A and B are shown apart, each in its own frame.
Chain A
């Protein structure tokens, strides 16, 4: 076993025996996300590098501290990518942090979320045991899907040493269309289009304009373009739009107030929020940047069967993630205990410790 892994195991055990907590951290680009990180920092960047990459197997395995940009560059050399387009949010984002944050970008609605691409992990649990779950193959039902559980766990379950992710070829072609539409009309069209076999990769509505990104075979995009109409956006301008949307560099996301993410059914009507919103994922992800009580935002989301996260800024005193139903909360706590009985990892990062 690697010397560093031995060292980390010892450190986890020692921290557990002292009843203290570790903050698992890569580049720190997602420090803003979730409740405030506490505990001594364990810097995952000491364990970096692509362990295995087999383009024809559509799988890449990387160590937790591998810079996300490095992994993406390795894939790009072979015309492949992480199709869920994870946001980096800043320089220095790592693969481990990306999986732990569990965030997906603009194409989530067409290709699936980050969690859909997790195939396997090697972890150190809260007892200091090195464990392996899942693997490097697409289909695997041996044992419970513990590796997928790591996605979005914010470093509260285990220290991920390695992760295997499914990758896909980049789309052969892309084109972005723009439509001048009010939100209600945009939502209605997005849902209608979603029911048709069109190569829609991503969508974004804000301030009276709907941008629609087509991804696929050249011929399919031509055919869809004829069918849908709209104004074709220049390729470089379109690339910048989707990148800036993914990275929250658009002015909308930089206004400085509390940024809420509301996840709702795609066909939920325009939400009664009295400030500008931005809509992604065919209507399923709605950003809200404004001053409104947490309780009210959560009510708005719940009223349509959704949930709300205080994504960035604002007052975290009322919690960040949507409250869980009592039985689900109990199962969550017990899942946490299953992997990390002494609460070594990411104490209180998701929900307050009771």
Chain B
């Protein structure tokens, strides 16, 4: 045992990969892969230049689309030997630029790992490849009365591998948990090309909880090639309450009151008035446009259980000052209530040329304060913001509306977003609940963590990836970056990163 130095070198400043030899790399990859699994012509690389966060773009040196685990091993060995950065990519729906290519690196697309390998209804598990779409698992399990619970809003397109990389949530995670609570095993390849099994069908494996580390690790520890998920019995019935409030703070208090009453709703979502106005134009969900905020409050279970819980929730919401309460009478009406919430992002895209989605999580009781502060920021930056919010777990998605073609608007939107993230930290929360840090929020990580904490993250990374080749430059900022960013967390009265050169 003892101190190792590579992690600290990594933590200090971003590695320089400009010496990567493109010709040598492409030759080695071409020798290891069938021709259709390797892209290196400029026009073929273009589609991979960004993920769901398209303000950041970078064309990689090469894109590989392996079909087998042996090919993944071969690619990683080559990159390891030649010191080439590797960015793993699923469906490319990520919202934080986690799959943004590296200029001197390879994008490893897992799009062809798209098969469900095993679905065991009796054991209630599915073994899937990482490129399988989230929703495809539930579709395959439906015949057995089962489903895969985490349901990020992009579930129709996003891959389960990406869900592991970001520890994706969704609208039902207060009751059913995040990805980390629903994945029991991953099989992965390390940067050296070694295959590891982390977790298993048996619970609570020996050793440290590496499965927890893999979740939300943004492709920086190992490349996942197989995932075993837990399937959940589909509830017999779900019903939803649509409650209107004339005041945002009252809606926030109602959320707390529901939970204080001992109820864990299957879903608990809030939208503010600008958000309901935006969606109602496109999806006629029947939201009360007079309301300052609406809550969607869902119950699922047996018909008896749902009837009992809906009644308890109705009483609490009424006592909390709801001005209007509607309860879905049938499945069609329930889906109509949800249609508005699920259309929030597309609606933002239709009322504004561009929008920028935030992802901070704050303690629920601070929601009123946050919304008020956001109103102030709208004035400060001269931009509108609509708010949708996983109220049950405090995860907010303010959507900042802007037009990238107007000079200065993108910069103002980014500054607006950075303000929201820093306020999230100041209110006792975090800069990202479920979208990941990626490249987008990397500077704000400097506000959330101190120098020794950031060094610890680099050491954890080095435990898996000593050379720092997996997705370098993402998720965890170098100390130099933090010094340049200049907005660091002061802890215990000491200036953090005090030992770093400043520019």
Residues of chain A having any CB pair with chain B under 8 Å: 1, 54-59, 79-80, 102, 104, 108-109, 112-113, 115-116, 125, 127, 129-133, 135-146, 148-149, 151-153, 157, 168-170, 172, 191-192, 194-199, 216-220, 222-224, 263-267, 281, 284-285, 301, 305-307, 309, 321-325, 327-329, 331-339, 341-343, 350
Residues of chain B having any CB pair with chain A under 8 Å: 1-4, 7, 120-125, 144-146, 166-167, 169, 173-174, 177-178, 180-181, 190, 194-198, 200-210, 212-213, 215-217, 221, 233-236, 256-257, 259-260, 262-264, 301-305, 307-309, 361-365, 390, 393-395, 428-437, 441, 445, 448-450, 452-453, 456-457, 459-464, 475-476, 492
Contacts of B200 in A (CB 8 A): 265, 305-307
Known: A138-B174, A139-B394, A141-B436. Is A307-B302 also a contact (CB below 8 A)? Answer: no
11 residue pairs bridging A and B, Cβ less than 8 Å apart? A57-B364, A141-B430, A141-B435, A142-B449, A146-B456, A146-B460, A191-B122, A217-B301, A220-B304, A223-B302, A309-B206
Q: Which of A146, A152, A169, A305 contacts B204 (CB 8 A)?
A: A152
Known: A195-B124, A220-B302, A341-B1. Is A141-B434 also a contact (CB below 8 A)? Answer: yes
Task: Let me know if B124 and A194 touch, CB within 8 A.
Answer: yes
Add 20 more A-B contacts to A140-B361, A197-B235, A219-B302 (CB < 8 A).
A57-B365, A112-B181, A133-B453, A135-B429, A137-B362, A137-B429, A138-B174, A138-B361, A140-B430, A141-B435, A146-B457, A148-B180, A148-B212, A152-B204, A152-B209, A169-B259, A195-B124, A307-B205, A338-B7, A338-B460
Q: Which of B204, B264, B461 contacts A144 (CB 8 A)?
A: B461
A335–B460 Cα distance when bound, in Å, is 6
Task: Let me know if A153 and B208 touch, CB within 8 A.
Answer: yes
Q: Which of B144, B195, B206, B432 contacts A140 (CB 8 A)?
A: B432
Within the complex, the shortest CB–CB distance from B20 to chain A, in Å, comes to 26
Task: Let me know if B208 and A332 touch, CB within 8 A.
Answer: yes
Task: Let me know if A139 and B178 touch, CB within 8 A.
Answer: yes
Known: A145-B212, A217-B304, A343-B1. Is A79-B262 also a contact (CB below 8 A)? Answer: yes
**B168, closest chain A residue (CB):** A141
A146–B217 Cα distance when bound, in Å, is 11
Contacts of B203 in A (CB 8 A): 108-109, 113, 263, 281, 284-285
Q: Which of A131, A142, A152, A328 contacts B437 (CB 8 A)?
A: A142
Within the complex, the shortest CB–CB distance from B315 to chain A, in Å, comes to 14
Can you list the 6 inter-chain pairs with the closest CB atoms, starting with the nearest? A219-B304, A334-B463, A139-B433, A338-B459, A169-B262, A220-B305
Q: Which of A113, A136, A197, A333 contacts B363 (CB 8 A)?
A: A136
**Which of A54, A102, A307 has the largest count of B CB atoms less than 10 A from its CB?**
A307
Q: Which of B197, B210, B305, B361 contacts A217 (CB 8 A)?
A: B305
A332–B2 Cα distance when bound, in Å, is 14
Task: Let me know if B190 and A334 touch, CB within 8 A.
Answer: no
A112–B184 Cα distance when bound, in Å, is 11
Contacts of B452 in A (CB 8 A): 125, 127, 129, 131
Q: Which of A145, A222, A306, A309 contacts B180 (CB 8 A)?
A: A145
Known: A281-B203, A338-B459. Is A135-B430 also a contact (CB below 8 A)? Answer: yes
**A172, closest chain B residue (CB):** B262
Known: A136-B428, A157-B208, A191-B123. Is A331-B464 also a contact (CB below 8 A)? Answer: yes
**B261, closest chain A residue (CB):** A169
Within the complex, the shortest CB–CB distance from B295 to chain A, in Å, comes to 15
Task: Let me know if A58 and B259 touch, CB within 8 A.
Answer: yes
Contacts of A223 in B (CB 8 A): 302-305
Contacts of B363 in A (CB 8 A): 54, 57, 59, 136-137
A343–B3 Cα distance when bound, in Å, is 11
Contacts of A224 in B (CB 8 A): 302
Task: Let me know if B196 and A328 touch, CB within 8 A.
Answer: yes
Task: Let me know if B204 and A342 touch, CB within 8 A.
Answer: no
Within the complex, the shortest CB–CB distance from B187 to chain A, in Å, comes to 11
**Which of B178, B212, B390, B434 has the largest count of A CB atoms less than 10 A from its CB?**
B212
Contacts of A192 in B (CB 8 A): 122
Q: Which of B166, B206, B448, B449 contacts A321 (CB 8 A)?
A: B206
Contacts of B430 in A (CB 8 A): 135, 137, 139-142
**A329, closest chain B residue (CB):** B207
Within the complex, the shortest CB–CB distance from A46 to chain B, in Å, comes to 20
Task: Let me know if B236 and A328 touch, CB within 8 A.
Answer: no
Known: A139-B395, A145-B212. Is A322-B233 also a contact (CB below 8 A)? Answer: no
**Which of A54, A196, A265, A285 has the largest count of B CB atoms less than 10 A from its CB?**
A265
Task: Let me know if A143 and B475 touch, CB within 8 A.
Answer: yes
Task: Let me know if A305 and B217 touch, CB within 8 A.
Answer: no
Task: Let me know if A140 and B463 touch, CB within 8 A.
Answer: no
Known: A129-B452, A139-B173, A307-B206. Is A341-B213 also a contact (CB below 8 A)? Answer: no
Within the complex, the shortest CB–CB distance from B6 to chain A, in Å, comes to 11
Within the complex, the shortest CB–CB distance from A156 to chain B, in Å, comes to 9
Task: Let me know if A325 and B122 touch, CB within 8 A.
Answer: no
Known: A169-B264, A217-B304. Is A339-B456 also a contact (CB below 8 A)? Answer: yes
Within the complex, the shortest CB–CB distance from B430 to chain A, in Å, comes to 4
Task: Let me know if A141 and B308 touch, CB within 8 A.
Answer: no
Task: Let me know if B120 and A267 touch, CB within 8 A.
Answer: yes
**Which of A130, A322, A338 has the largest count of B CB atoms less than 10 A from its CB?**
A338
Task: Let me know if B174 and A327 touch, CB within 8 A.
Answer: no
**Which of B256, B303, B365, B453 has the largest count of A CB atoms less than 10 A from its CB?**
B453
Task: Let me know if B434 and A216 touch, CB within 8 A.
Answer: no
**B253, closest chain A residue (CB):** A56
**A219, closest chain B residue (CB):** B304
